[in-house]
Structure 1
C-alpha cells in the first residue's frame, strides 16, 4: 500500500507563520504591535509579552531609523498602501542592532479607513557585510584610480616643467592629492657646494626648514646618502632611527613621515643611480601605507628624479646661453662708450641688478674711479682687504661658506697689469658654481680690457685735443669797448683724430676788425696742418685795401700750391668799428647769422661762391656790405652745429635761428658754448666751431616817440639791446626797463591825455657808476602837484630806481638813476 505524500501546504499554518524564514509583524495604524511571529522574537531577543500591545514598531528602530520612519516610511505607506525593501536597523533587547529590510502593506476597511499594517522583516546582516565589502573594494579601486590619475597628472606636470624650480614645485604638491598627506617638503642636492638645499614646502613652519651639509646626521641627509625609501610610522621609530624628527612629530601631531629619495634610476636597484633630492611628506596620526601605495611612492621618486635631471640639464644650458648673451651685450655696450668714466658707469649699470645685488668698481687708473651701485655694500674694511688680496694675487677671491663679506672680488687685468677690482655680491645659486666662476672670470677679463682701452683712448684723445687747441687762434683781440668776441671749439666726441674746423679774429688796423671761420676737408694731422696754414694765409693776405672778395681770390691761388686745402670752406667778414659797416663773403661756407637789436635773426645769404680751389660751381668771388646797428651780434659757425643725418638741413637752420634769438639778451661770455651744448651735446660725430661778434653801443641813447602806448614796446626792445651791449646785469637792466616804461606810460596818460600827437623824449646814459634815464614831455598835467606824486606807477619807479627827481619848469621831466655798485 503506497504511503500518502504530505505536501508542505498541508503543514500547520500557525507553525508556518511562527517559524517562517522572515519576521512578521501586525500593527495598528498608529504602529502598536498586535501580532509578532517567533522568528522576529528570536532575532531580537524580545518576548511576545514585551512587544504585543506595549511597543510600536518605530520604537524598535535606531534613532536614525525613527526619523526615517517618520519622514519617509509613514508618509509613503499612507499614500501608496505599501512600501518595499526599506532598510532599518532594529534595536534588539541587548541593545545591539540588527540590519533589516522591511516590506509593509496597509490594510483598509470597507470605507477605505486604515485598519492594520502587515510588515515582513528580512535579516540583512549578511547582505550588509557583503555590501560593505563591495563598498570597501570600490573605495580601494577608486583610491587606486585616483592615485593613478594624480600620478599621471604629476608626470604630465613634470614633463611640462622646464626648470628645476618648476619641477620642485610640481613634486612638492604631489603627496597631498595622491596619498592624503598633510604637508610635504622638498630638498635638492647641490653637489658643487656639498649642500642639501631646502627648496619648497607646503608648510614651511614645520620641521628643520633650512639648508644642511651633505654629511649631516639629519634624516634628510641620511636618506639622500643612502638613496632608499624610509617610512617612519611612529615617534618611537623616529627616536630609534631619526632623532631629529621626534620634536617636530610631537609638536605637529604627525606620526607618520615618508622620506622619499628622488633618483635618476630605478628605485628597486640602487646600482648606478644618483640621488638628486629628497621629498619628505607626513600624515596626521599614524598612517600605514599599502604595498600598492608604496609602489606608487617609489614610482613618484623615480619620475621626479628623472624630471629633475632633465630640468638641470635645461637650466645649465639656459644659464650658459644667458651668460654668453650677457657677456656679448656687455662687450657691445662698453664699446659704445669711449670715455673711461662713462664706460665704468656702464659696466656697473650692466652688472646691477642683472647678475648682482650690488657691485663696487675700484680702479687705480685715470682719476681713481670708485663706483658703487645697488643694495648695501659690505663692511668697508673687509671689502678693502679682499680687494687688496685680489689685486696683489691677481686672482679672483671667491668667498668660502660663512664668509662675512659674502661677495666675489675680481681683479681687472689687461696687458699684464692690474687696473683695479670689481666686487660683486650675487644671489645664491644652487647649481653651476664652477660655471659661474668661469663666467665671472670671463667678465673680469672683458671688463679689464675694455677699461684699459678706454684709458688709452682718453690718453690719445687728450694728446689729439692738445694738438688741436695749439693750432687754433689763441691771441684774439680784446680790450676794445667797441666790440667783444666769444668763441667755442668742440671736438668730435667719437673720434681720436683732430679735425679741420677753425676760427680766427684779428685787427687789420685799430678801426677794422676781421672775423673768420673755416673748415678743411678731412681729419688727422694733415687736416690740422692745413688749417694752420690757411689761417696764417688769411692773416697774411688781409689788409686795408684788400676786402673779402680779393682775399678769397688770393686764397684760391694759395690752394693751388697746397693741395690739402682744396675744397676748404671759409666765412670771412670785416667790420669798420667806427661806422659799424660789415663787409663779408662766403666761399662754400654756411651763411653767418645776424641778430640786430630789433627784429628776428637773419641769415646773410649774399656774396656766396664755391669752396676754395673748386673746379665746379660759381668761383667768382664777390662781397656784400651792410651796416650793423650798435648792439648787433654776428654768429659764424661750422656745419657740425646744425647738420644731422636724421633731419633736413633747413630744420637745423630753424633751430639755430630760434635758439640764437632766445639768447639775444644773454651775456656774451659762454653764449657759443651754451649753443653748442644745446644743439649738439657731447657725444657727436663732427667737430663744432663757433665765433660770435658783438658790436658795442654809443654811450647814450636818445629816442623820441609819440603819445601812443604801442610805442612803449618798441622803446623797451631798443633800450634792452642798448643795456645788454653795455654789459648791464639782468637785475639792474630789468629795473631800468620797468621804471622807464612806467614813466613813459604816466606821460601819455597824464601829460597828453587830450593830445594824441604829443611827443615824449627819452635819453639814457651809462656813466662809470650808474645808469641815468630822463623821460620828458611838453604836456599839461592837470593837478600836477598831486598827479606826479601819487599812483601805483610812481611807487614802482621809486622801488626800481635809487634816485627819482621831477622837473616841471617846462612840461614834466622825470630823472631816474640806478647805481651800478650793487652789480
Structure 2
C-alpha cells in the first residue's frame, strides 16, 4: 500500500527500460549492424538475421555490409554512401536492396552513424535498417496511378495538338498527315490509314498510312463493296470488334484482319458536319485504324473519335478550298513565268524550245509545237511516245481549219489536247499536249490551256516577225559591206568574216575592205563608226568610199588618215570613227600601216609568236583632243606571213579586262597558225564570241606571198578536209602546177587524211594530222602524218579502196608506221 492508502503501482507495473537491454537490441523492430570502418560486420541483431535468413557466424567477422547489397546497391555504396558518411559522419534513409541468404532481395532504408576516437580517427559504423517492402509497394501504386494520369493527360494533349495541327494545315496532304497519326498517339492503335474521296474521278484515294503493308492499300471506285467505300457512302462510324463480326458485314476487312493479326478495327467517316446531323453534311474521306488485341472503346472515347472525324472533315473541306486557290495561283504563276521566259529570247526556234521545255514535264508528258505559216512544220517536240500519227494529223487539220481547241474525253484514243496558236486573227499553228486524263476533263484546266496557247502564239508570232525584220537588216548590212575581195593573185590571199550583233535589229557600223591601189600595191582596212542604225550604216559606206577614193601611189596611210580628218569635218556622223589601214607592197613584202583609235593589227610570221602592231597609233577620226598628227610605220614581212585586222566586238567583254581579250585572241591565232586560211576568221569568231554576241564583229585576214613549202595541222574532223583542200589548191595554183597533176594530188591528199581520221583517230576526236607539201620542177611531194593507233599491229594500211585511189593517183606511195602512220606520196609534173 502507498502512503495514501492506494495500491503500490511500482510493484505491479514493469517499465520498458527495466527490460533486458540485450533482448531489446536483438529483437528490435529494425535491423542493427555494427561494422568496422572498412565495412566488416562485427555485430548484428537477431531481427536482421531473421529478415535475411543469415546465421550470425556467416556474417560476423566474415562479410562486409557492402557484400550484402545488390549490384546496383554496391555501386551506390561506393559512389554515394561511403563518401557521404566520411564527410558528414552520418547518412539517413538511403534505399538499398539487401540480398538475403536465399537470393531474394529485401528493400530497406538505411541510417548509419560513424563513431570516431579521441584523435577523430574512424572506429566503427553503427547502421540501422528498416524493412521498406510495404513502402515500396505503396510507391509502385502511386507511380502506377501517376502513369495513368500522365497517359490521360498525354491523350488530351495529343487530341489538342491534332486540333491545332488541323487548324494550321493548309493542304489536303498536311491534313491527312495530321489525322493519320492521331489514333496511335491518342488511343494506342497499332496502325491507321486515311482515304479521301475524289468526286471528279469518282474514286476513293488512299493518301496516307502508318503501315501501308496492312489492308488493301490502293484506290477504289466509290461504288466498291469494300468496307471503306461503304462507310464513305453511309457516313456513319463502324467499330468492328472481332473477326466474326467482320466476316458478317465486311468480308474484305475480315481477310485483312486475319492476315495482319488485328482484332479490332474502327472505320471513321471524315465529315463536314456532326455525324448525328446527316442533313447538309458531306463525307470527304475515311480514317481506318486498328488494334492488335481486343479493344473496347468506351462511350467517352467514341465521342472523342466522332469529334476527331468532324474536325478532320472540316479541315479537309477548308484545305480543298485552299488547294483550289493555290492551284489557280500556280497556273497564273506558270503563265507569267512562261511569258517572261519567252520574252527573254528573240528567235523563233529558241522560243518554241523554251515553251516545250516548260510544258514538259511540269504540266504534260509530251508536247509539240507546229507552225503553218513562216517556217512550217514541227518546230519543237519533247516527251514521248507521240500519239497515233493518223489521229493526230486529223486533229491538227481540224484545229488549223476551225481555230477551235480539241480536248478529248478520257476514253478517246487521241489522248492529247490540240490547241490553236492564234495571233492577230489568224491561226499560226498548233500546240499539242498529252496530259493526265483527269486534267483534260476539268473545265478550269481548259481555260488555262487556252490562255497558255494564246500567250505562246503571240510570243511566237513576235519572234517570227523579229526574225523577218532581222533578216532584212542583215541583208542591208551585208550590202553595205565591201563587195568581192581581190583575188586571183598568187602573191596574197584574203579571208573575211562578218557577224552582226545577236539581239539587235539595227544596222551596225563595223566594216572591212580590201582593194588594189595598183598592180603591185594592196590596201586593207577595218573600221567602226559610232552608233547604230541607218545613219551609222550610211556613214560606214561613205568612209569606205572615201578611203578608196583617197588611196593612191604616193599617199600612204598617214596622209590618208589626215585627209579623212578633213572629210569628217564635213560629215559629222563620221566623227570619232576608228580605222586601221594598211598597204602592202607585194613585190617587196613591205607593210605600211596606221591606226586611228582602232585596235592594233595582229601579225603572225612563219616563225615565232603572234605580235600586235602597236606603232603608228593616233586618235580617232575628227578627234579634237590630244596629238592630231598622223604617223605610219613600215616593216618587211616574209612570205607566208598572216595579218589580222578586226573590230572590238571580237575581244571586248564587260565581264573581263580587255588585256584578257588580247591574250585570248593571240593564243587562238597562234594555235591556228598552220590551219587553212579558208574558215580561219570564222573559227576565231566562233571560239572567241560564239553566237550570242552583243556587238558586231568584223575580221579580215591577209596571207602574204607564196610559201615555198606548205605545212598545215588540222584536227581529226572530216569538216576540215574541205578547208585543207581549198588551201592546198590555191597553193598549187600559185606554183603553176598543171591541172591534171593538181587534181591528182588533191584527191590523194584528201583520201590519206580521211583514212587517218577513220582509222588512226577512230576513238580520239581530239587527234591532229600534219600535212606538208613541196613543189619542185619535176614533181609534187605530199606527206600526211598522224599519231593515232590504227586497228591493230597486223593491219595493212596499204589495203582498202581509199589507198587504191591514192596509188592510182600518185606515182609513188610509201608507208611508215614508226610513230603513228605517215603516208609519203609523189607525183611527177607533166612536161611542158
Aligned-residue offset at 1:638: 0.8
Q: Distance in 2 between matches of 1:431 and 1:174?
A: 36
Comparing 233-242 with 544-553, greater Cα deviation is found at 233-242
Aligned-residue offset at 1:373: 2.8
**Matched residue SS, 1:534:** helix
Match in the other structure for 1:420: 429
Match in the other structure for 2:162: 154
Comparing 534-543 with 232-241, greater Cα deviation is found at 232-241
**Matched residue SS, 2:490:** coil
Structure 2 stretches lacking a partner, 5+ long? 1-48, 57-140, 711-726, 733-744, 753-772, 784-810, 815-822
Aligned-residue offset at 1:78: 4.2
Give CA-to-partner distance per residue, 1:303-351, whole Å, 9 cap, x none: 2223323433443444444444433332222222211112222222223
Aligned-residue offset at 1:519: 1.4
Match in the other structure for 1:669: 678
Report whether the alignment pairs 1:473 with 2:487: no
Matches within 5 A, 1:267-666: 267-283=275-291, 288-364=296-372, 365-366=374-375, 368-374=377-383, 376-403=385-412, 406-426=415-435, 433=442, 435-666=444-675
Aligned-residue offset at 1:440: 3.2
**Matched residue SS, 1:369:** strand
Give CA-to-partner distance per residue, 1:780-809, whole Å, 9 cap, x none: xxxxxxxxxxxxxxxxxxxxx9699xxxxx
Q: Distance in 1 between matches of 2:592 and 2:683?
A: 27
Q: Distance in 2 between matches of 1:700 and 1:202?
A: 83
Q: Distance in 1 between matches of 2:152 and 2:54?
A: 45
Match in the other structure for 1:228: 236
Match in the other structure for 1:748: none
The partner residue of 1:163 within 147, 158, 171 is 171
Q: Distance in 2 between matches of 1:219 and 1:526?
A: 83
Aligned-residue offset at 1:435: 4.7
Q: Distance in 1 between matches of 2:827 and 2:161?
A: 90
Match in the other structure for 1:199: 207
Say whether the 8 Å CA contact 1:514–1:573 is kept in structure 2.
Answer: yes
Report how many residues are paired: 613
Aligned-residue offset at 1:466: 1.3
Aligned-residue offset at 1:193: 4.1
Comparing 380-389 with 180-189, greater Cα deviation is found at 380-389
Q: Distance in 2 between matches of 1:244 and 1:408?
A: 40
Could you say what the CA RMSD is over the residues aligned between the two structures, in angstroms?
4.2
Q: Distance in 2 between matches of 1:284 and 1:399?
A: 49
Q: Distance in 1 between matches of 2:311 and 2:427?
A: 50
Aligned-residue offset at 1:577: 0.8
Match in the other structure for 2:113: none
Comparing 428-437 with 500-509, greater Cα deviation is found at 428-437
Say whether the 8 Å CA contact 1:766–1:772 is kept in structure 2.
Answer: no
Q: Distance in 1 between matches of 2:301 and 2:635?
A: 106
Give CA-to-partner distance per residue, 1:704-732, whole Å, 9 cap, x none: xxxxxxxxxxxxxxxxxx99994799998
**Matched residue SS, 1:537:** helix
Comparing 458-467 with 619-628, greater Cα deviation is found at 619-628
Aligned-residue offset at 1:207: 5.2
Aligned-residue offset at 1:512: 1.2
Aligned-residue offset at 1:160: 5.5
Q: Distance in 1 between matches of 2:688 and 2:526?
A: 18
Q: Distance in 2 between matches of 1:555 and 1:596?
A: 30
Matches within 5 A, 1:80-91: none
Say whether the 8 Å CA contact 2:349–2:379 is kept in structure 1.
Answer: no
Matches within 5 A, 1:798-813: none
Match in the other structure for 1:57: none
Q: Distance in 2 between matches of 1:550 and 1:137?
A: 113
Q: Distance in 1 between matches of 2:544 and 2:511?
A: 8
Say whether the 8 Å CA contact 1:631–1:724 is kept in structure 2.
Answer: no
Structure 1 stretches lacking a partner, 5+ long? 1-73, 82-132, 702-721, 736-762, 774-800, 805-815
Report whether the alignment pairs 1:174 with 2:174: no
Give CA-to-partner distance per residue, 1:211-232, whole Å, 9 cap, x none: 3454666554454344332345
Match in the other structure for 1:683: 692
Going from structure 1 to structure 2, the CA distance change for 1:524 and 1:135 (only over 3 Å counts) comes to closer
Q: Distance in 1 between matches of 2:508 and 2:826?
A: 47
Q: Distance in 2 between matches of 1:246 and 1:536?
A: 99
Q: Distance in 2 between matches of 1:474 and 1:688?
A: 17
Say whether the 8 Å CA contact 2:579–2:596 is kept in structure 1.
Answer: yes
Going from structure 1 to structure 2, the CA distance change for 1:674 and 1:391 (only over 3 Å counts) comes to same
Q: Distance in 2 between matches of 1:256 and 1:366?
A: 69
Q: Distance in 2 between matches of 1:223 and 1:185?
A: 14
Matches within 5 A, 1:649-798: 649-697=658-706, 699=708, 726=731, 765-766=775-776, 769-771=779-781
Aligned-residue offset at 1:434: 5.0
Larger radius of gyration: 1
Q: Distance in 2 between matches of 1:624 and 1:211?
A: 87
Matches within 5 A, 1:82-161: 147-159=155-167, 161=169
Say whether the 8 Å CA contact 1:665–1:724 is kept in structure 2.
Answer: no
Give CA-to-partner distance per residue, 1:86-114, whole Å, 9 cap, x none: xxxxxxxxxxxxxxxxxxxxxxxxxxxxx
Going from structure 1 to structure 2, the CA distance change for 1:312 and 1:567 (only over 3 Å counts) comes to same
Aligned-residue offset at 1:367: 5.1
Going from structure 1 to structure 2, the CA distance change for 1:803 and 1:405 (only over 3 Å counts) comes to closer
Going from structure 1 to structure 2, the CA distance change for 1:254 and 1:672 (only over 3 Å counts) comes to same
Say whether the 8 Å CA contact 1:601–1:657 is kept in structure 2.
Answer: yes
Q: Distance in 1 between matches of 2:668 and 2:728?
A: 21
Comparing 647-656 with 381-390, greater Cα deviation is found at 381-390
Q: Distance in 2 between matches of 1:241 and 1:494?
A: 73
Going from structure 1 to structure 2, the CA distance change for 1:519 and 1:285 (only over 3 Å counts) comes to same
Comparing 590-599 with 382-391, greater Cα deviation is found at 382-391
Comparing 234-243 with 289-298, greater Cα deviation is found at 234-243
Say whether the 8 Å CA contact 2:509–2:530 is kept in structure 1.
Answer: yes
Match in the other structure for 1:819: 826
Say whether the 8 Å CA contact 1:521–1:567 is kept in structure 2.
Answer: yes
Say whether the 8 Å CA contact 2:407–2:440 is kept in structure 1.
Answer: no
**Matched residue SS, 1:488:** strand
Q: Distance in 2 between matches of 1:378 and 1:772?
A: 57
Say whether the 8 Å CA contact 2:589–2:705 is kept in structure 1.
Answer: no
Going from structure 1 to structure 2, the CA distance change for 1:441 and 1:297 (only over 3 Å counts) comes to same
Aligned-residue offset at 1:445: 2.5
Match in the other structure for 1:59: none
Give CA-to-partner distance per residue, 1:738-797, whole Å, 9 cap, x none: xxxxxxxxxxxxxxxxxxxxxxxxx97555851499xxxxxxxxxxxxxxxxxxxxxxxx
TM-score, normalised to structure 1, is: 0.65
Q: Distance in 1 between matches of 2:466 and 2:219?
A: 49
Comparing 233-242 with 418-427, greater Cα deviation is found at 233-242
Say whether the 8 Å CA contact 1:176–1:182 is kept in structure 2.
Answer: yes
Going from structure 1 to structure 2, the CA distance change for 1:573 and 1:421 (only over 3 Å counts) comes to same
Aligned-residue offset at 1:437: 3.9
